[in-house]
Amino acid sequence: MKINYGNILFSTKENKKSYKELLEVRPFEPFSDKVVDFLNILSKEIYKDSRIREYPDVVTFAFFCRRANIRQLKKRFYNQRYLRLGRGTVFHITPSNVPINFAFSLVAGLISGNLNIVKVPSKNFDQINIIVDALHKISIISKHKFISNRIILTKYDHLDKATEYFSLNCDVRIIWGGDETIKNIRKNQLSVRAFDITFSDRYSICIINSDKYVNEINHGRIASDFYNDTYLSDQKSCSAPHLIIWFGSNNNVEKSKKIFWEALHEIIKEKYKIQPALVVDNLTNFFDQSIRIKSITKQKTPDNLLWRVNLSELTRDIEDFKSSGGYFCEYHAESIDDLVKIINRKYQTLSYYGFSKIQLEGYISTLRPLGIDRVVPIGRTMDFSFIWDGYNLVNILSREIDIH
């Protein structure tokens, strides 16, 4: 059977062979020196590209790929006392709305020792072009062919038969997308030993200790970090917060809100241009929320760049009103226990300001929520980790060989 790879973005001459031959490419150990070298060169090549000045997410990816960072990750995620090899071939189906996600998913597959087929977003993103251009430049260097031969990046529409074929002939299928997307892709059968790793649509929140925030010296930095968490992805990333929970005295909460939102708005005015469709979406979302939840008020804001919806109570359906382009619900909580009312399996990232690690560990241990897989400071929600949605990717994308 001749395979239609779709529109190939990256593939070396050596791996333009039949898929059956590709399946015979042997896996290698996690954190191979060749992978570390390859990623380090990739990082340097990306930094040479002047276009990255416009894309902080690409800069973040290049920084992640540095040799020093990968070596630190190896210490954390790889126990060399046990013999591990990659599972074989990983088929990645990446989200259409987060352009840099494909690159981090690819790195997880490489680090774990696998050959990788990556379906990237069909939409044209400059971020993807920058990384693909860097990969092409590295692929002509002979010493890096061991790794570059294990990468195929492709794009095709949802009607293409490639998903059906790749699914049936991979060892692991990684699906990033909404719930309906995952359901539709799962209609494509896997081989009997293969399995799915799914990263479904999730909801994220932010908690701020106003008693600490009012004494913060650099409010601008916190606002900038929050902007990076939210507006850089139009809040379309699962890790972007949509609900802000304030803690502290009434007086400090009101002071903190004024300082925080004013500082954020100054940054938004300078850096962000909202799409008209998002304004309409936010207006529609607010009307829907107003009908279904009676006890809400829209805080007055200077323009449509920022929507603040004040809640007098937390309701279990709050995640239904997730919107984009600066739409935030906010609530003043008396206790962290208030979160138990709403946190379900859809909740992913909890970002925070003004809480210690010991406090947060205590909260999670005590509350034992059904959701929340990540707890990070404001400004770190977009940071990729090999532990994502509760999965240890290095372990799950490799296999341990038991020798007695």
Residue 323 has pLDDT above 60, yes or no: yes
Give the rounded percent of residues in the chain with a pLDDT score beyond 90: 70
**Domain for residue 1, yes or no?**
no
Within this chain, do residues 216 and 192 fall inside the same structural domain, yes or no?
A: no
Within this chain, do residues 299 and 367 fall inside the same structural domain, yes or no?
A: yes
Which pLDDT belongs to residue 40? Answer: 97
Residue 10 has pLDDT above 80, yes or no: no
Residue 96 has pLDDT above 90, yes or no: no
Span 136-147, average pLDDT: 89
CA distance 10 to 1: 22
The enclosing H or E element of 395 equals helix 393-396
Within this chain, do residues 212 and 277 fall inside the same structural domain, yes or no?
A: yes
**Domain for residue 229, yes or no?**
yes
CA distance 245 to 286: 19
Choice among 47-51, 210-214, 301-305 with the minimum mean pLDDT: 301-305
Residues β-bridged to residue 199 = 176
Residues 6 or more apart whose CB falls under 8 angstroms from that of 42 comprise 62, 65, 131, 134, 135, 138
Q: What is the pLDDT of residues 143-159, one digit of tens each?
A: 888 899 899 999 888 76
How many other CB atoms sit within 10 Å of the CB of residue 321? 21
Amino acid residing at 76: R
Span 58-70, average pLDDT: 96
Within this chain, do residues 338 and 397 fall inside the same structural domain, yes or no?
A: no
Which pLDDT belongs to residue 45? Answer: 96
Q: Are 205 and 243 in contact (CB under 8 A)?
A: yes
**Domain for residue 384, yes or no?**
no
Q: 250-271 and 219-230 helices cross at what angle (nearest 10)?
A: 60
Give the rounded percent of residues in the chain with a pLDDT score beyond 70: 96
**Domain for residue 73, yes or no?**
yes
Within this chain, do residues 104 and 144 fall inside the same structural domain, yes or no?
A: yes
**DSSP E strand stretches across 110-184:** 115-119, 151-155, 172-176
Residue 15 has pLDDT above 70, yes or no: no
The string of DSSP codes covering 62-78 is: HHHTSHHHHHHHHHHH-
Residue 17 has pLDDT above 70, yes or no: no
Token duo for residue 309: 């919806």
Choice among 134-143, 158-167, 241-250 with the minimum mean pLDDT: 158-167
**Domain for residue 76, yes or no?**
yes
Task: Flag whether the pTM goes above 0.85.
Answer: yes
The owner of tokens 């896997």 is 190
The per-residue pLDDT of the chain, averaged, comes to 91
Residue-number span of the structural domain to which 278 is assigned: 203-377
Span 287-294, average pLDDT: 88
Within this chain, do residues 124 and 267 fall inside the same structural domain, yes or no?
A: no
The string of DSSP codes covering 102-118 is: HHHHHHHHHHTT-EEEE
Residues β-bridged to residue 116 = 90, 151
Span 284-306, average pLDDT: 90
Span 21-50, average pLDDT: 92
Per-residue pLDDT band for 2 (boundaries 50, 70, 90) equals very low
Token duo for residue 62: 């290049």
Contacts of 182-188 with C-beta under 8 Å, sequence gap 24+, read 184/158, 185/93, 188/163, 188/164
Q: What is the CATH number of the domain that holds 48?
A: 3.40.605.10
**Domain for residue 382, yes or no?**
no
- In terms of Cα–Cα distance, which of 240, 210, 223 is closest to 327? 240
Q: What is the CATH number of the domain that holds 301?
A: 3.40.309.10
The enclosing H or E element of 280 equals helix 276-292
**Domain for residue 147, yes or no?**
yes
Within this chain, do residues 267 and 309 fall inside the same structural domain, yes or no?
A: yes
Which pLDDT belongs to residue 19? Answer: 66
Per-residue pLDDT band for 9 (boundaries 50, 70, 90) equals confident
- In terms of Cα–Cα distance, which of 314, 310, 280 is closest to 298? 310
DSSP structural state of residue 295: S
Per-residue pLDDT band for 14 (boundaries 50, 70, 90) equals low
Span 348-361, average pLDDT: 95
Q: 126-139 and 33-47 helices cross at what angle (nearest 10)?
A: 120
Sign of CA dihedral 55, 57, 58, 64: positive
Which pLDDT belongs to residue 31? Answer: 96
- In terms of Cα–Cα distance, which of 377, 379, 397, 378 is closest to 387? 397
Query: Over the range 281-317, which residues count as b (16 or more CB within 10 Å of their CB) and which as e?
Result: ebeebbeebeeebeebeeeeeeeebbbbbebeebbee
Cα separation values, 187 from 93, 183, 190, Å: 14, 7, 9
Within this chain, do residues 193 and 207 fall inside the same structural domain, yes or no?
A: no
Q: What is the pLDDT of residues 167-213, one digit of tens each?
A: 998 999 999 988 899 999 999 999 999 999 999 989 999 999 999 99
Within this chain, do residues 221 and 137 fall inside the same structural domain, yes or no?
A: no
Q: How many domains are there within the chain? A: 2
How many other CB atoms sit within 10 Å of the CB of residue 339? 22
Within this chain, do residues 152 and 120 fall inside the same structural domain, yes or no?
A: yes
CA distance 370 to 29: 34
Q: What is the pLDDT of residues 253-281, one digit of tens each?
A: 999 999 999 999 999 999 999 889 999 99
Within this chain, do residues 141 and 229 fall inside the same structural domain, yes or no?
A: no
Per-residue pLDDT band for 1 (boundaries 50, 70, 90) equals very low
First-residue to last-residue Cα distance in the chain: 41
Span 273-302, average pLDDT: 90
**Domain for residue 2, yes or no?**
no
Within this chain, do residues 185 and 46 fall inside the same structural domain, yes or no?
A: yes
Three-state DSSP at 333 gives coil
